[in-house]
Amino acid sequence: MFEWIWDWWMALLMYLGFKCHYKILLTGLDNSGKSTLLHMLADEPKAQRLENPPGIRATFGEQLIFDEFHIHVYDLGGMPLPGGNFKAQLPTFDAIIFLIDATDKARFGEAKEWMKPILEDVRIPEIPILILANKIDRPNAVDEHEIIFQFGLEEMCTGKEASLPERPLEVFMTSIVARQGYGQGFKWLQQRLRE
Protein backbone atom coordinates (compact mmCIF):
# COMPACT_ATOMS: atom_id res chain seq x y z
CA MET A 1 0.00 0.00 0.00
CA PHE A 2 2.74 2.46 1.02
CA GLU A 3 4.66 1.76 -2.21
CA TRP A 4 1.57 2.63 -4.28
CA ILE A 5 1.16 5.93 -2.40
CA TRP A 6 4.87 6.72 -2.83
CA ASP A 7 4.74 5.94 -6.57
CA TRP A 8 1.62 8.10 -6.96
CA TRP A 9 3.28 10.98 -5.07
CA MET A 10 6.46 10.77 -7.15
CA ALA A 11 4.41 10.63 -10.38
CA LEU A 12 2.56 13.77 -9.27
CA LEU A 13 5.84 15.55 -8.50
CA MET A 14 7.18 14.52 -11.91
CA TYR A 15 4.04 15.81 -13.58
CA LEU A 16 4.53 19.13 -11.80
CA GLY A 17 8.09 19.30 -13.09
CA PHE A 18 9.92 18.17 -9.93
CA LYS A 19 13.07 16.14 -10.55
CA CYS A 20 15.45 14.57 -8.09
CA HIS A 21 19.04 15.25 -9.16
CA TYR A 22 21.81 12.94 -8.04
CA LYS A 23 25.50 12.91 -8.78
CA ILE A 24 26.76 9.32 -8.77
CA LEU A 25 30.37 8.16 -8.93
CA LEU A 26 30.90 4.98 -10.95
CA THR A 27 34.29 3.48 -10.22
CA GLY A 28 36.29 0.27 -10.09
CA LEU A 29 39.23 -1.28 -11.88
CA ASP A 30 39.53 -1.45 -15.65
CA ASN A 31 37.63 -4.34 -17.26
CA SER A 32 35.10 -4.53 -14.41
CA GLY A 33 32.22 -3.44 -16.67
CA LYS A 34 31.84 0.29 -16.01
CA SER A 35 31.67 1.39 -19.64
CA THR A 36 29.36 -1.52 -20.50
CA LEU A 37 27.07 -0.51 -17.64
CA LEU A 38 26.97 3.11 -18.83
CA HIS A 39 26.04 1.96 -22.34
CA MET A 40 23.36 -0.40 -20.99
CA LEU A 41 21.87 2.37 -18.86
CA ALA A 42 21.85 4.81 -21.75
CA ASP A 43 20.07 2.23 -23.93
CA GLU A 44 17.29 1.52 -21.40
CA PRO A 45 13.86 2.47 -22.79
CA LYS A 46 13.17 4.68 -19.75
CA ALA A 47 16.49 6.52 -20.05
CA GLN A 48 16.90 9.92 -21.60
CA ARG A 49 20.49 10.92 -22.37
CA LEU A 50 21.48 14.55 -21.81
CA GLU A 51 24.54 16.52 -22.85
CA ASN A 52 27.46 16.39 -20.44
CA PRO A 53 28.28 19.56 -18.53
CA PRO A 54 31.19 21.69 -19.77
CA GLY A 55 34.54 20.25 -18.73
CA ILE A 56 33.32 16.65 -18.46
CA ARG A 57 34.51 14.52 -21.35
CA ALA A 58 32.00 12.01 -22.69
CA THR A 59 34.26 9.11 -21.69
CA PHE A 60 33.98 10.17 -18.07
CA GLY A 61 30.27 10.53 -17.63
CA GLU A 62 26.70 10.46 -18.73
CA GLN A 63 23.70 12.47 -17.68
CA LEU A 64 20.63 10.26 -17.69
CA ILE A 65 17.03 10.56 -16.58
CA PHE A 66 15.26 7.47 -15.21
CA ASP A 67 11.69 8.03 -14.09
CA GLU A 68 11.96 10.91 -11.61
CA PHE A 69 15.71 10.56 -11.11
CA HIS A 70 18.06 12.83 -13.01
CA ILE A 71 21.51 11.35 -12.49
CA HIS A 72 24.99 12.40 -13.46
CA VAL A 73 27.11 9.24 -13.60
CA TYR A 74 30.87 9.76 -13.68
CA ASP A 75 33.07 6.85 -14.73
CA LEU A 76 36.50 7.38 -13.16
CA GLY A 77 37.90 3.95 -13.92
CA GLY A 78 41.31 3.63 -15.49
CA MET A 79 42.54 6.60 -13.46
CA PRO A 80 45.44 6.31 -11.00
CA LEU A 81 44.68 4.90 -7.55
CA PRO A 82 42.24 7.17 -5.70
CA GLY A 83 43.82 10.09 -3.93
CA GLY A 84 44.49 13.78 -4.45
CA ASN A 85 41.80 15.38 -6.61
CA PHE A 86 39.71 12.19 -6.66
CA LYS A 87 39.53 12.10 -2.88
CA ALA A 88 38.75 15.81 -2.71
CA GLN A 89 35.72 15.23 -4.96
CA LEU A 90 34.17 12.39 -2.91
CA PRO A 91 31.92 14.63 -0.76
CA THR A 92 30.36 16.10 -3.92
CA PHE A 93 28.73 12.77 -4.83
CA ASP A 94 25.34 11.57 -3.60
CA ALA A 95 26.13 7.88 -4.11
CA ILE A 96 28.96 5.62 -5.21
CA ILE A 97 28.73 2.55 -7.43
CA PHE A 98 31.79 0.31 -7.28
CA LEU A 99 32.15 -2.43 -9.90
CA ILE A 100 34.13 -5.59 -9.28
CA ASP A 101 35.01 -8.27 -11.82
CA ALA A 102 33.83 -11.36 -9.90
CA THR A 103 35.96 -13.59 -12.14
CA ASP A 104 39.29 -11.81 -11.63
CA LYS A 105 40.40 -13.17 -8.25
CA ALA A 106 44.01 -12.20 -8.99
CA ARG A 107 43.00 -8.51 -8.87
CA PHE A 108 40.77 -8.59 -5.77
CA GLY A 109 43.61 -7.15 -3.67
CA GLU A 110 44.09 -4.29 -6.13
CA ALA A 111 40.34 -3.63 -6.24
CA LYS A 112 40.21 -3.67 -2.43
CA GLU A 113 42.99 -1.05 -2.31
CA TRP A 114 41.04 1.06 -4.84
CA MET A 115 37.94 0.83 -2.64
CA LYS A 116 39.74 1.49 0.66
CA PRO A 117 39.97 5.33 0.49
CA ILE A 118 36.25 5.47 -0.31
CA LEU A 119 35.25 3.28 2.63
CA GLU A 120 37.58 5.08 5.05
CA ASP A 121 36.70 8.66 4.08
CA VAL A 122 35.14 10.19 7.22
CA ARG A 123 33.61 13.05 5.21
CA ILE A 124 31.11 10.75 3.49
CA PRO A 125 29.61 8.59 6.27
CA GLU A 126 26.05 8.65 4.90
CA ILE A 127 26.72 8.29 1.17
CA PRO A 128 25.26 4.96 -0.01
CA ILE A 129 27.68 2.58 -1.69
CA LEU A 130 26.37 0.04 -4.18
CA ILE A 131 28.87 -2.70 -5.00
CA LEU A 132 28.13 -4.58 -8.20
CA ALA A 133 30.07 -7.84 -8.50
CA ASN A 134 29.91 -8.32 -12.26
CA LYS A 135 30.34 -11.20 -14.73
CA ILE A 136 28.39 -13.82 -12.76
CA ASP A 137 27.39 -15.37 -16.09
CA ARG A 138 30.89 -16.84 -16.30
CA PRO A 139 31.64 -20.19 -14.65
CA ASN A 140 34.69 -18.94 -12.74
CA ALA A 141 32.81 -16.12 -10.95
CA VAL A 142 32.93 -16.23 -7.15
CA ASP A 143 29.74 -15.97 -5.11
CA GLU A 144 28.48 -13.07 -2.98
CA HIS A 145 29.86 -14.50 0.29
CA GLU A 146 33.34 -14.74 -1.23
CA ILE A 147 33.17 -11.12 -2.47
CA ILE A 148 32.09 -9.92 0.98
CA PHE A 149 34.89 -11.93 2.64
CA GLN A 150 37.67 -11.00 0.17
CA PHE A 151 36.83 -7.29 0.41
CA GLY A 152 36.41 -7.29 4.20
CA LEU A 153 32.79 -6.13 4.03
CA GLU A 154 31.33 -8.51 6.65
CA GLU A 155 30.68 -5.72 9.15
CA MET A 156 29.79 -3.06 6.56
CA CYS A 157 26.93 -4.57 4.53
CA THR A 158 23.65 -3.16 5.81
CA GLY A 159 21.23 -5.54 4.12
CA LYS A 160 19.27 -5.46 0.92
CA GLU A 161 15.99 -4.53 2.62
CA ALA A 162 17.27 -2.70 5.68
CA SER A 163 17.01 1.00 6.35
CA LEU A 164 19.65 1.65 8.97
CA PRO A 165 21.21 4.78 10.44
CA GLU A 166 24.74 3.88 9.30
CA ARG A 167 26.04 4.24 5.76
CA PRO A 168 24.05 2.02 3.41
CA LEU A 169 26.40 -0.44 1.70
CA GLU A 170 25.36 -3.57 -0.15
CA VAL A 171 26.72 -6.08 -2.67
CA PHE A 172 24.64 -7.23 -5.64
CA MET A 173 25.78 -10.00 -7.96
CA THR A 174 25.36 -8.97 -11.60
CA SER A 175 25.93 -9.82 -15.19
CA ILE A 176 25.70 -6.57 -17.08
CA VAL A 177 25.90 -8.21 -20.51
CA ALA A 178 23.10 -10.63 -19.54
CA ARG A 179 21.16 -7.74 -17.93
CA GLN A 180 20.96 -9.52 -14.57
CA GLY A 181 21.20 -8.17 -11.04
CA TYR A 182 22.02 -4.53 -11.61
CA GLY A 183 18.31 -3.62 -11.73
CA GLN A 184 17.89 -4.84 -8.14
CA GLY A 185 21.01 -2.93 -7.18
CA PHE A 186 19.69 0.29 -8.68
CA LYS A 187 16.32 -0.17 -6.96
CA TRP A 188 18.19 -0.56 -3.66
CA LEU A 189 20.24 2.56 -4.38
CA GLN A 190 17.17 4.53 -5.44
CA GLN A 191 15.46 3.64 -2.15
CA ARG A 192 18.52 4.64 -0.12
CA LEU A 193 18.69 8.00 -1.93
CA ARG A 194 15.01 8.62 -1.16
CA GLU A 195 15.53 8.13 2.59
The CATH number fitting domain 21-194, selected from 3.30.1360.20, 3.40.50.150, 3.50.50.60, 3.40.50.300: 3.40.50.300
Q: According to the model, what pLDDT value does residue 128 have?
A: 92
C-alpha to C-alpha distance for 60 and 18, rounded to whole angstroms: 27
Question: What's the mean per-residue pLDDT of the chain?
Answer: 76
Per-domain residue ranges of the chain: 21-194
pLDDT tens track for 3-50:
445 455 555 555 544 546 777 888 888 888 877 877 777 665 554 554
Q: Is 143 annotated as a binding residue?
A: no
CB 24 within 8 A of CB 73: yes
Q: Is 136 annotated as a binding residue?
A: yes
Q: Is 85 annotated as a binding residue?
A: no
Q: Is 17 annotated as a binding residue?
A: no
C-alpha to C-alpha distance for 171 and 144, rounded to whole angstroms: 7
pLDDT tens track for 91-136:
888 888 899 999 999 999 999 998 998 898 888 888 999 999 999 9
C-alpha to C-alpha distance for 19 and 17, rounded to whole angstroms: 6
How, if at all, do strands 129-134 and 95-101 pair? parallel
pTM more than 0.85: no
Q: Is 135 annotated as a binding residue?
A: yes
Q: Is 67 annotated as a binding residue?
A: no
Q: Is 158 annotated as a binding residue?
A: no
Q: Is 28 annotated as a binding residue?
A: yes
Q: Is 33 annotated as a binding residue?
A: yes
Q: Is 87 annotated as a binding residue?
A: no
Distances in Å between the Cα of 164 and the Cα atoms of 7, 88, 123 are 22, 26, 18
Q: Which candidate, 91, 92, 78, 86, places its Cα nearest to that of 32?
A: 78
Q: According to the model, what pLDDT value does residue 22 have?
A: 78
